[in-house]
Every structure is written in C-alpha cells, then in structure tokens.
Amino acid sequence: MAPARLATRSDYESLVDRFDTFLFDCDGVIWNGAAVVPNAPAALEMLRRRGKRLVFVTNNSAKSRRDYVAKFARLGIQASADEIFSSAYATAVYLRDVAKFDPAKKAYVVGGSGIRQELEDVGISTIGHEDTAPVSLESLHEVVPDPDVGAVICGIDYDISYRKLAHAHVNLAENRDCLFIATNDDRTLPGGKHMYPGSGALLSVLTHSTQRAPLVMGKPNPPMVECVVQSLRLDPDRSCMVGDRLDTDVLFGIRGGLRTLCVLTGVADEAAILAPGAPAASYYMASLGDLAELGG
C-alpha cells in the first residue's frame, strides 16, 4: 500500500489514537545536529500527557545514554536512560546477554567515548589507542594481536587513525575467535548542509582488510530490532516507528513488525518515500512538530 500522507488535525488524532507506543529515531526527527526540530518537544510532551509510551532509538554511537539524557534535557525534552536505545547500548547488551562475553577479556574499540562508556557500564573492559604519535612502518612492529582482546567494536570514530585500524585488523585477522561487531553501518552521516562518511564507511576499511563480515547492531539490522522489541515487550500492532530515513528507520520498523511514520525533516523527501521499490512507510508527514497542534 502507498504511504498515507497525514496533513490534517483529524489525521493526527487518528494516528495518536491508533498507537500506545511511539519509537522515535532522533537525528532528523527530533533534532538536526544541535538544533531541535521546531515544536518536536511540544509534540512529545503531548504524547506523554496522553499516556503514550515513548522510546528513542538512535544509530549514533558517539554518545552514551547518559549523554543523551543530558542532550534531551538541553533541548527541553524529558527522557530517561531506560527509554533510550542507542547502537552503542545495544552493542553492550548484546555482548553481555547474547554473546556471553567473557568478563576477563577486553573489547578493542574503534570509536568514541559513547561506546566505551556503555561497555564499561555492563562490566566490559575496553582498550583503544588515543595517541597521535606518528606512525611508521617500523613502529607498526609493535602492533600485534592481544590475547586479552575478545572483540573488536567499530562505531563512529572522529579520531580514526592508522594505528587503531592496524590494532583492530591484527586482532581480527589473526584470531578468528575474536568477535567483530559494528554498532551500525550507516553509509553517510548527516552533517547539516552536507553528508559525510558514516561509521559504515569507516567499517569498510576493516571488512576489506580482514575479509571478515561484522555483526551489525544498529537499525535496520535484526539485533537492534530484537533488543528493542524484546526488552520492551512491544505489542507490534500498537507500536509505531517514527523516522526520517527509509533504509534504516522505516526498514527497522518493518522488520520489527511495526507500523512506520516517515517525516520530512531529515534525509528522505516525499519523492523518495513514494518511489517504487522503496521500503514502504505506513504514513508520512511534514514534521513531528506538527503533532503539537493537538495540544493536551
């Protein structure tokens, strides 16, 4: 079925009545980088006043859930850590609960503090290389597999370096038991006016050099779907995923058996939403902020 455009107050009322739980992608729906989407906080508040359950699902592994709580607060939105599912958190939960990661081992992180904090919070020690010392072929002789490394975790890393990639590579290439996990594989990262390489692009260095395929946690992949749907015991028929991207958010919702709402404040435009063969959103509307007109 073609996605239904929601544009009137009565469309919005029916949407809100139809669901008990709304899952929100963050960037492109609630904010764009540091800027809040106009009226999105009021729309979320309206949903809370009407007793809806709100869940926030982001592929961005740069921040921990604690950082996200602070970001929501700064934007005037009330949200608690247990409502937030980031790809970094899903990675930590997966390692602890599904992979039963040996607590005596360490995770080598190609990524930032968001990943390290989430892993440490579930009791997994992390290592990485932050130094910026020059690299030469001779200095690479010090880069050897570490028997204590049980997993290499790859996410967005704004300080990616050859040294880090070399450490990750030798652990993965020379120890087939070392787990290879990517927080997400977004091809691009929305940077306001321009798109930049996403963590999936950084990941491609390691998939190419090691010829290994990582387990990818983030939307639209099954581990994130399972992490959210199972830990919240969602009733898929009464839950709606709201996103701005068809290849991550809408596909994530479809795979989780949820209805989906695509907004036009981020990556997808109307032509992309209506294009034949695109992941089919159930609904689309201009902006989450438009729901604020429902008031109480």
Interface with Ca ion (CB under 5 A): 25, 27-28, 244-245
Under the criterion CB under 6 A, does residue 118 sit at the interface with ligand PLP?
no
12: CB partners within 8 A, 6+ apart: 6, 285, 290, 291, 293, 294
CA dihedral for 234, 240, 241, 246, sign (positive or negative) = positive
State the DSSP code for 246.
I
Alpha helices in the chain (DSSP H): 9-18, 40-49, 65-74, 87-93, 113-121, 162-174, 199-210, 222-232, 251-255, 270-274
Residues in contact with ligand PLP, shown as a per-residue x/- string from 139 to 178 under the rule CB under 6 A: -----------------x----------------------
- Marked catalytic residue, from 11, 20, 67, 247: 20
Residue among 61 and 171 whose Cβ is closer to ligand PLP: 61
20 labelled catalytic: yes
Beta pairing class for 259-263 and 283-285: parallel
- Going by DSSP bridges, is the β-strand pair 194-197/188-191 parallel, antiparallel, or unpaired? antiparallel
Q: Does 265 bind ligand PLP (CB under 6 A)?
A: no
CB of 234 to ligand PLP, least distance (A): 18
Neighbours of 211 (CB within 10 A): 9
> Cβ closer to ligand PLP: 107 or 241?
241
Question: Which residue's CB is nearer to Ca ion, number 118 or number 249?
Answer: 249
According to the binding rule CB under 6 A, does residue 190 interact with ligand PLP? yes
Binding test (CB under 6 A) with ligand PLP, winner from 27, 83, 118, 157: 27
Q: Which is nearer to Ca ion, 71 or 245 (CB)?
A: 245
Residue 229 contacts ligand PLP per CB under 6 A: no
For 221-245, give the DSSP string. Answer: SHHHHHHHHHHHT--GGGEEEEES-
**φ, ψ for residue 168, nearest 5 deg:** -60, -45
> Residue 62 binds what, of Ca ion, ligand PLP, none (CB under 5 to 8 Å, by partner type)?
ligand PLP
> Of 6, 15, 23, 26, which one interacts with ligand PLP (CB under 6 A)?
26
* Closest distance of CB 174 from ligand PLP, Å: 29
Query: Which residue's CB is nearer to ligand PLP, number 129 or number 219?
Result: 219
Q: Which of residues 48-87 bind ligand PLP (CB under 6 A)?
A: 58-60, 62
CA distances from 174 to 9, 128, 145, 170 (A): 59, 18, 7, 6
Which residue numbers are catalytic? 20
Which residues form the interface with ligand PLP (CB under 6 A)? 25-28, 58-60, 62, 156, 186, 189-190, 198-199
